[in-house]
Each structure stands twice: as C-alpha cells, then as structure tokens.
Amino acid sequence: MANEIERKFLVHKDMIPEAKQCIRMIQAYLCTEPERTVRVRISGEEAFLTIKGKNKGITRKEFEYSIPLEDAKELMNLAVTKPVEKIRKIIYDNGKKWEIDFFEGENKGLVTAEVELSLEKEKVIIPVWVGKEISEDLKYRNSMLSKMPYSHWK
C-alpha cells in the first residue's frame, strides 16, 4: 500500500527552465468516482494501470502497475471519459523533482506543476516559475479534466 502526497500548482509558462526529460502521455479513466479513480496511461513506450483513493488533504492511496502496451491500448477503449493528452517535462529544483504538464487536445493552454512529498507538512522551496497552488481545487485534477476540459471553462 502506498500513499501519494502531492502539491499541484499553476505555472508562469514564460519562466520555466530547461527540462531534463520530456515524455508524451495519454491517459484515460475507467472509473472517476469521488472515492476512487482508475486510470490507464501510456507514457512513451510504457503503460500503467493506476488506482487512486479519495484525497484526505493532499494525501491519497495510490497503486500503480506496469502493464503491456497492447493491453493499455485496449483498455483505452473502455474509458468512461475522454482521454487526457499532455507532454510532461521533468525539472529538478532545490532537491525536488517537479513534473510540469503541458496539456494538449481539449486541455491545450493549461500548464501545471506537481511535486511529490514524503510528508504533508514537508517544507518545499517554491521556484520562481511556480504560481498559484491548486492542490485542493478539484477542477484541475486530470480525472476532472477528462470530463470537463480546460477549453470548456468559462
């Protein structure tokens, strides 16, 4: 059993430093209930099935398993919402790994950054390119973006 402790932010797009790594991702949701989400993700040439529990603050249960790429492609057909497409760039800043997601498709224009923590109260030095915190704003969750894409927001 694993806990995911994560803070999420909007970013100042024009200030993002050079990324060490860049990965194209597509993910689709097999379940988007408030108590749990079940996601299939294709990340480059790898594929994963992820089950996440309900958030308690910025912490939730997370179980992630590698699956065959062909299985992931088949599971995408069982999605209950539209897929979420993004390019993830990895940046290391002040000893922390930051994942910056540049959304594509119907979520184009949205850019978010996430940092995983060991403890909820862990201190994080926020880089200058990081903006408003959105950790507990449900509309920015990928599972919600699959139902109500960024381009449909008023």
Q: Give domain status of residue 154, yes or no.
A: no
pLDDT of residue 33: 92
pLDDT of residue 139: 96
Q: Give domain status of residue 153, yes or no.
A: no
Phi, psi (degrees; rounded to nearest 5) at 106: -70, -10
User: Which residues does the annotation mark as catalytic?
Assistant: 29
Q: What CATH number is associated with residue 104? A: 2.40.320.10
Domain that holds residue 69: 3-148
Q: How confident is the model over 49-58, as pLDDT tens digits?
A: 999 999 888 9
Count CB-CB contacts under 10 A for residue 41: 22
Q: How confident is the model over 58-117, as pLDDT tens digits?
A: 999 999 999 999 999 999 999 999 999 999 999 999 999 999 999 999 999 999 999 999
Q: Give domain status of residue 133, yes or no.
A: yes
Q: Give domain status of residue 139, yes or no.
A: yes
3-state secondary structure the chain: CCEEEEEEEEECHHHCCCCCEEEEEEEEEEEEECCEEEEEEEECCEEEEEEEECCECCEEEEEEEECCHHHHHHHHCCCCCCCEEEEEEEEEECCEEEEEEEECHHHCCCEEEEEECCCCCCCCCCCCCEEEECCCCHHHCHHHHHHCCHHHCC
Using the predicted structure, report yes or no on whether residue 1 has a pLDDT greater than 90.
no
Tally of domains in the chain: 1
Q: How confident is the model over 10-22, as pLDDT tens digits?
A: 999 889 998 878 9
Using the predicted structure, report yes or no on whether residue 38 has a pLDDT greater than 60.
yes
Using the predicted structure, report yes or no on whether residue 26 has a pLDDT greater than 90.
yes
